[in-house]
Structures are given as C-alpha cells and as structure tokens.
Amino acid sequence: MFDFQVISGLRRRAFRGSSFYWGVVTINKLTLKTEDCDVKITWKVLIIATVVWLCFIGLYAWLLHITDDSTNIGKVVEFVGMWIPVYGIAVSAIIVTCSSKETAKARYEFDKIENTFKLIELWDRPSLKEARDMTRAMKAKVNKMSKDDLKAEINNNEDKYRSVITMCNFFEEIYYSLLHKRVHTDLLKDAFGFTYIDIFDRFKDWITETLDENTKNHLLDLRTKWDATPKSL
C-alpha cells in the first residue's frame, strides 16, 4: 500500500550501486504482489460469508416448508429483513479487519525501508567517514602484522582505537536491527556485506582478543550471516 512517489524518492536516496537500486525495485514489486494477495483474500472471505448467509436463509426457508401459505412466506420475509442488517454489519466488520491488517502490514514494511536507509545514511556521517579512512589506511599494514603487533598498533594509538571501535559499534547496531527485524536484510547485505566482511577479517584478531564476549559474538554472527554473495547481484 506504498505510494509510488515515496518508493521513487527512496530510489533516489539509494546507496551508490545498481544492485541496491534493484533491491528497492524488488521491494516495490513484492509490495504490489502482497497487496493483490490481500485483496484476493478479502474477497474470498466476503464470498464465503455471503454463501454461508444464503445457505442459512435457504435452510430456514426449507425448514418452514414454504408453500402458498402466506403465513410461512411472511415469516421468511420477516426473517430475511431481520438478518440483512446483521449481514451488513458482519461484512463491514470483515472489511474493516482486513483493511486494518493490510494497513499495519504496509506500515511495517515502510518503517523497515525507512530504518534501512537511516542506517545507510549514517555511513556518510563524519565520525564514520573518519573511521573508514583510518581503517582503510591500516589495511596494507595489518596484513603484515602479528596478532600482538596488531593489538599494540590499535590499543596504543587513540585515533586508531577510536576508529576501529566506531566501526564495530556501527555494525553491531546493524546486527541488532537485523535481529529485531527492523530493517530489510537483503538491502543492508547488498549495501554493506562485502565491506563488512573485509573490515571484520582485517581486524579479526583484535576483535576476538579485545572486545567483550557479547560484542565479539554479535560481530562474528553478522560475519557468518553475510558470508555469501548478495542475492540481488
């Protein structure tokens, strides 16, 4: 139930890369399919309710053994007149219930998209940009270092330590967002999957020996989940 202009706006804000663009396009298509499915289900429920109601009326008429007896015919007319408003109320309740579910589902999907793009926009925040530059500059050096040298290189330099911690905090925030289903998994994987795997592997020895157990496990779990090519590529 998304507005197409909203989806188009999200496309314009998309992370730089065609795979991410097509990820949003895919969500748009899936949303339309979901809406069609919900409409079909609503109509099926209404049809079933109508058939049941008509069967109920027919059964009542049959039990009275309708003949030319005006008394029996009058009872049926009276019965139908009494139950038509009830049928209307029941149908209205079904429509309202189905519409509420569709609205809630559409809102949930929209919020997931918004949360996803908020995380992506954070990637260009000054503190993260500085951390990215610092950790990128360390890449060539890290590959030639022993575990102890790597640990000393980071822990004895405040800027480097803060940069690595900032990156870890950002990806742990992504981990929690995925854990609680607040974001679109595939979109974030397309946007950050390869980058995160590279960063995690670069500082794996420092992460496993320095960070607390929970944070270490969270980052490792995210690394395991993203250890595959993004679906949209």
86 and 139 belong to one structural domain: no
101 and 130 belong to one structural domain: no
CA separation for the pair 46, 48 (Å, rounded): 5
Find the helix or strand (DSSP H, E) in which 214 lies: helix 213-225
Q: Dump strand ranges (E) for 70-216.
A: none
Among 90, 114, 138, residue at a domain's last position: 114
Question: 214-228: per-residue pLDDT in tens?
Answer: 999 999 999 999 986
- 177, 218 in Cβ contact below 8 A? no
- 45, 98 in Cβ contact below 8 A? yes
CA separation for the pair 159, 114 (Å, rounded): 32
pTM: predicted TM-score of the whole model, two decimal places: 0.61
71 and 104 belong to one structural domain: yes
> Phi and psi of 145, rounded to 5°?
-95, 150
59 and 81 belong to one structural domain: yes
Range from 98-102, 182-186, 203-207 carrying the lowest mean pLDDT: 98-102
Question: 133-167: per-residue pLDDT in tens?
Answer: 998 888 878 878 888 888 899 999 999 999 999 99
